[in-house]
Structure 1
Amino acid sequence: MLVNIQTHNQDISYRECLTQVYFSNMFAGTDKFLLTLMAYDLFVAICYPLNYTVIMNTWLCGFLVLLSWIIMLCVSLIHILLMKHLSFSINTEISHFCCQLAPLFKVASSNTFINNIFMYLMTALLGVLPIVGILFPYVQIVSTSMRMSFIVRKYKALSTCGYHLGVVTLFYRTAVVVYLSSAMTHSSQGSTLAIGMYTVVTPMLNCFMYSLRNKDVKDALGKLLRRGL
């Protein structure tokens, strides 16, 4: 995006487009897994606080993160290998913010049946499994919080999950909007806006929401808001 703004040129080569597809899929999928792992981390911290350091040890955390990367590296690589068998006409125009699988399949000159099957299969698996992996820990967290005797403990336990839950909601809500707009609408402007929100705005807001856990950041934001008023 920054290169396009500086050069006033929106052209992208075939290799650059495939590279963009590869990394965008890999990072988006890894983000889903990391959000799931963070939900599990909160579950252990709240439901088993005395055993937290034993369960969430350095080896397990490193293994789970590495496994997430390996899974998405393989899935993204298979997408690219399948796309190598597709043919595209010269000067193909993609009416989207960046190179994505679904828009590229629409402008391909060859049969994309296998590509679509694999894309929908991976979208279902990588969409449903992380959501289930997030919902289950939160059900356990709420159940444990309800059994706590002091209101202060309940509030502290639930407030700990607030930032993560906000990021999860923002991430999946924007992702759903992107996929629905790509599948249902014929307006390229609406799809481009949705993908722009998904790839640029959402990651920026994620960092902002997590930084609000820092007391100094909260104080600085409060001063800024009071100064604006």
Structure 2
Amino acid sequence: MSKTGIFYFFIFSALISITSLKAQDTLILDQDDLEEVSKGVNYKFQEKEVEKDNNDQKKNINIDPGTGSWFNNAGPVFKVALIIIGIGIILSLLIWLVSNSGKSNVKNDRAVTILSDEEITEKTMTLDFDQLIKQAEDEGNYAYSLRLLYQWVIRILAENEYIIWKKDKTNHQFLNEIKDQEIKSDFRKITLIFEKYWYGEYPIDVNKYIHEKGKFNNLLKELNERQPG
């Protein structure tokens, strides 16, 4: 149910409550009229029965704590005001719950989308790796984050002309293309790390991830600072 629907539902409930109270007032007036009409009528009751009835009424008064309560004795306007306040509190609570539920759904919609190896390879030159890696880290998917970091390194290698990128090349083919021995050595190290956690499926926690990620970041930094050799 939408927020507008909930609002109209409770307004309708309030109108029903007000109508009910008016009906009760009408009933009370009818009873008063009945008592006025019956004043001249003489009813015959035995004295013992009258005393018994009085005693029963006293017992009922003592036993029933609700009789004569402040709410029952309150005027109809005051009752209506209390009902409207109560409805307002309930309505506010429901709107708050609906709003928070909506926020929760938005958060779930923003959960990281896991791309396949084929998708990552085909979109290597266009993916927003920085954003995808951040999302993977927020989800605690550290192996997937290393997968993205590795492909990011391949893109930078291609942009800096250390390799010629083609989607059907293997990682070892890229490694053999690198002429700069220092870059080649660092790329070999992160290749082993990537294959260990991604294909080997070794367990990785946040501490291991931070340690391994540093090696990827160092190579990315070095590639951005150096000229192709």
Give the structure-2-normalised TM-score.
Answer: 0.26
If asked which structure has higher relative contact order (CA below 8 Å, sep 6+), I would say 1
> As a proportion of its length, which structure holds more helix?
1
- When Rg is computed on C-alpha atoms for both structures, the one with the higher figure is 2
**Superposition TM-score, scaled by structure 1 size:** 0.26
